[in-house]
Amino acid sequence: MSHVHLPPAEYYASLPKHIAGAGAIIHDAAGRILLVQPSYRTDTWEIPGGGLDKGEEPLQTVRREVKEELGIDLTPGRLLAVDWVPEQSDGRPPLVNYLFDGGLITQAEARTRIHLDPEELTAWQLASPEQWDALLAPHMARRVHACSRALTQGTTVYLQHGFDSVRHEA
């Protein structure tokens, strides 16, 4: 197979495109995870985080998004999961999402430290594993369950749309 050597700019322009996001798994000692209610939708809760800005890397994104959304200066911990989300029917390109350990927080600390940006969020809660499936979109619930396992097991997981593609389970 012969390869046509393109100038770098043309070669890069020919490559597939995807977008990236990063989120924080902020949790308490009982295994509850901080979920937030976006102001722009009422059908699901989410975890704090968002899309990478141009020139930004995932750890910077987590810090920026948590500061903007919750008013908390966060130093993210280890990588818990990478989740590859395929192209969506609405035209959104594939997304790679990096999920980091956002550290421990108690209910009392959360009440004191969290200052929601009303432009982005309307509510927060420390939700138990039993609540995740009801509050989150299915792929997000799978993602949060996988991150919870990674937290307790000291591992990092690779997910495909929330499914553990190595262990073949949600």
pLDDT in tens, 103-132: 999 999 999 999 999 999 999 999 999 999
Q: Is the pLDDT of residue 14 over 90?
A: no
Burial group, residue 18, by CB count within 10 angstroms (0-12, 13-18, 19+): middle
Q: Give the list of residues 6+ apart from residue 106 with CB closer than 8 angstroms, or none.
A: 28, 29
Domains in the chain, CATH or no CATH each: 17-164 (3.90.79.10)
Residue 169 in this model has a pLDDT that exceeds 60: no
Indicate if the pLDDT at residue 3 is higher than 80.
no
Chain-centre distance of CA 84, in angstroms?
A: 11
Point out which residues pair with 26 in neighbouring strands.
Answer: 103
Q: Is pLDDT of 155 > 90?
A: yes
Q: What's the rounded Cα separation, in Å, for the pair 34 and 25? A: 7
The pLDDT of residue 2 is 42
What residue spans of the chain are helical by DSSP H?
Answer: 8-14, 58-70, 107-113, 129-135, 138-153
Contact 70, 115 (CB under 8 A): yes
Distance CA 11, CA 60 (A): 28
Shortest CA distance to 69 belongs to which of 13, 114, 99, 2?
A: 114
Q: Which two tokens stand for residue 54?
A: 């141009």
Distance CA 106, CA 55 (A): 34
Give the per-residue pLDDT at 167: 62
